[in-house]
Amino acid sequence: MNKFSIYQYALILLVLVLGSIYALPNLYPTQPSIQVAYTDSAKSADQILLNDLEEILEKSEINAEEIFLRENKIVIKFADVDTQLQSKTVLQQALLDRVIIALNLEPSTPKWLKDLGGNPVKLGLDLSGGVHFLLEVDIDTAQEGRLELLLDTYRRTFKEEKIKYDSSSIRDLSLYFQFSDKSSYNRALKKYRDDSLGISGVQYVITERPSTNTLLLEYSDIALREIRDYAVGQNLTTLRNRVNELGVSEPIVQRQGANRIVVELPGVQDPTAAKKIIGKTANLEFRLEANSRTSPLRKEEFNFKDNDFQTAFLEKAVVVTGDRVTNANTGFDESGFSQVNITLDMQGGRAMQKATSGNIGRGLGVLFVEQKTKSELVINDDGDSVIEQTTYIEKNIISLATIQAVLGTSFRITGVGTPAEASELALLLRAGALAAPMKFVEERTVGPSLGKENIELGMKSIVIGFSLVVLFMAFYYRVFGIAANISLIINLVLITGIMSLLGATLTLPGIAGIVLTVGMAVDANVLIFSRIREELKEKNPQLAIRDGFSRAFVTIFDANITTLIAALILYIIGTGPVKGFAITLSIGIVTSMFTAIMCTRAMVNIVYGNKNITELKI
């Protein structure tokens, strides 16, 4: 009567085998490692860099357990932390600004498990250690950048419409124009009022001073909110792309409040390397190429990014900056040569249209503006060699193409070289720019020792809770309790395996979720066993087992579904550790239902199924 089909046993065995395989990588410890990547994010690590690193380590008599290329970086594994730290110092002094060197922890999972897609559970900042940054976006600088573009736009407009003005400038985050006569003043005022009505509401606050023919233009609260949201949103996207250079398993980059961003990098032991990447300020500027009629005071000479010996003159006036680029991808023109297709937002499109309408045939340069750190090896007062760093701004031309037609929100740049160079340019245009500078408000490092302590305490809580539950179930429910205990072990294996397979992150609250899941899994078994006891009063043991499992299912299902809904809501609206708790709880609910209903029933069927029993001890 109580017997599963061969297919049901096969399903249970398959789930158990798969869960065990994907849980297995968690038994292998992590190793101290170093990740090395070129400082130039457009360059990927290659065999040449790998050979240089091997040569430097060999000369310094440092033994690396393994060194290999992975994606766009090189990973070097070491036997202990002391060798790791020594290697970092040696490599930094030898290579200086050529590379970024980040300390990390590398899993030691065997190759055959990796080939099957098996990886250990990713640990959050509170368990693995790492760095926490709180950055503040400089909204005033973003606003000033917009005002500079607006100032240049109105200068062009007033010139085209023959509105005369004596002086113009930016004063205290306001656009200042003093007009030559009353007629120009009135026409400019009408122009301001027409432009002020945007889609989302009033864009400008206009201060009128008719006695001096002066107008002041400030952004309204609505416009300032749009600028702030755009700057923070663009910086979020850029930061997410940048932290990928560190090879962090599960970085957290999220907005906090109006103009702040939280960055958490689990497993990163070197906050200096992380700050160097995250705090890197880069932007793009579209400028017209200077011609013979351009005044020497209104042009600048720049080197090309890929060729220091090639230079070109560009106008000082900026047409559009990189934060106006909404999309950039590569393609091919009619002749089969590489091109980059660019899409600007509405304001950027209007500025580009005005700049190019009378300049067909001239060159349009794309300037890459980057804040860099220069490292120098100097001798300090004690006679020791130390690395001294200074910050500077570098501007290089990454593209200079001829304008062939009036450009708007969508246009293409040709003459960009090979497909690889076109792809690099598109990448820089998409994610190379910060909409506004940022400053580090808070920096916190969580040491690996603290993370190790958290793991030990968390595992201790699981072991104590699990042991107490096992003892109680075995003593109170006898054979059924033993079956429930085996199901609990299977449940923990499945939770670990699923989290590893999904790439979920385990945090300290996540461990609390596992402990809660153990209690809920036992609760499901207790409901089943209590139901069997009630059924035994009126039925024989075989019928009592069958009806006990089937009739308790509805109660178990209802209780777990409501908890699962609560966990999903926590995941949707929660952040950081709350999400970690919700993930483990959700996975635990699903696995506990499977183990309580399927696995426990299978073991009970093996012991009691199709047997003539007169008494059931439960």
Apex 177 CA angle, 171 and 183, nearest 5 = 160
Same structural domain, 415 and 562? no
> Does 121 map to a domain?
no
pLDDT of the residue at 177: 92
> Does 618 map to a domain?
no
In tens, the pLDDT along 492-537 reads: 899 999 988 887 778 778 888 888 887 778 888 888 888 888 888 8
Q: In a 10 Å sphere around its CB, with 0-12 CB exposed, 13-18 middle and 19+ buried, how is residue 388 labelled?
A: exposed
Same structural domain, 185 and 323? no
Give backbone dihedrals phi and psi of 536, rounded to 5 degrees, phi first.
-65, -25
pLDDT of the residue at 612: 77
pLDDT of the residue at 279: 61
Neighbours of 315 (CB within 10 A): 19
pLDDT of the residue at 281: 57
> At 411, which CATH number?
3.30.1360.200
> Does 369 map to a domain?
yes
Average pLDDT over residues 6-31: 89
Apex 566 CA angle, 563 and 572, nearest 5 = 145
Confidence of residue 324 (pLDDT cuts 50, 70, 90): confident
Give backbone dihedrals phi and psi of 472, rounded to 5 degrees, phi first.
-65, -45
Same structural domain, 299 and 415? yes
> Does 122 map to a domain?
no
> Does 189 map to a domain?
yes
Q: Could you tell me where the beta strands, DSSP code E, fall in 249-350?
A: 252-256, 260-266, 282-288, 299-304, 307-315, 320-321, 325-332, 338-344
The model's pTM is 0.60
Domain that holds residue 408: 282-433
pLDDT of the residue at 246: 53
In tens, the pLDDT along 340-378 reads: 888 887 788 888 888 888 888 888 888 877 766 676 777
Neighbours of 189 (CB within 10 A): 15
Cα(368)–Cα(398) distance, integer angstroms: 6
CA-wise closest residue to 435 among 579, 237, 179: 237
Query: In the predicted model, is pLDDT for residue 431 greater than 90?
Result: no
Give backbone dihedrals phi and psi of 481, rounded to 5 degrees, phi first.
-65, -40
pLDDT of the residue at 313: 92
Same structural domain, 318 and 191? no
In tens, the pLDDT along 192-220 reads: 888 887 656 778 888 899 889 999 999 88
Neighbours of 417 (CB within 10 A): 13
Neighbours of 474 (CB within 10 A): 15
Q: Which residue, 248, 277, 306, sits at the end of a domain?
A: 277
* Distances in whole angstroms, Cα of residue 118 to Cα of each of 26, 248, 455, 496: 9, 18, 21, 11
> Does 578 map to a domain?
yes
Same structural domain, 384 and 519? no
Cα(89)–Cα(497) distance, integer angstroms: 38
Same structural domain, 194 and 302? no
Average pLDDT over residues 106-134: 81
Same structural domain, 600 and 548? yes
Q: Which residue, 236, 253, 277, sits at the end of a domain?
A: 277
Same structural domain, 254 and 348? no
pLDDT of the residue at 13: 92
Q: Which residue, 433, 460, 494, sits at the end of a domain?
A: 433
> Does 328 map to a domain?
yes
Query: In the predicted model, is pLDDT for residue 439 greater than 70?
Result: yes
Residue with tokens 């809920």: 520
- Enumerate residues 6+ apart whose C-beta is below 8 A from 474: 481, 482, 485
Same structural domain, 33 and 21? no
> Does 438 map to a domain?
no
> At 488, which CATH number?
1.20.1640.10
Please give the torsion angle defined by the CA atoms of residues 146, 148, 151 and 156, in that order, rounded to the nearest 10 degrees.
Answer: -100
Least confident stretch, 36-45, 94-103, 266-275: 266-275
Confidence of residue 415 (pLDDT cuts 50, 70, 90): low
Per the structure, the count of domains in the chain is 4
Query: In the predicted model, is pLDDT for residue 617 greater than 60?
Result: yes
Percent share of the chain, pLDDT over 70: 87
Pair 67, 74: CB distance under 8 Å: yes
Cα(3)–Cα(540) distance, integer angstroms: 16
Cα(64)–Cα(106) distance, integer angstroms: 13
DSSP state of 392: E
3-state secondary structure of 94: helix
Same structural domain, 299 and 383? yes
Query: In the predicted model, is pLDDT for residue 14 greater than 90?
Result: yes
Same structural domain, 254 and 292? no
Average pLDDT over residues 429-435: 62
Neighbours of 230 (CB within 10 A): 17
Cα(491)–Cα(458) distance, integer angstroms: 17
Same structural domain, 238 and 360? no
Cα(307)–Cα(417) distance, integer angstroms: 13
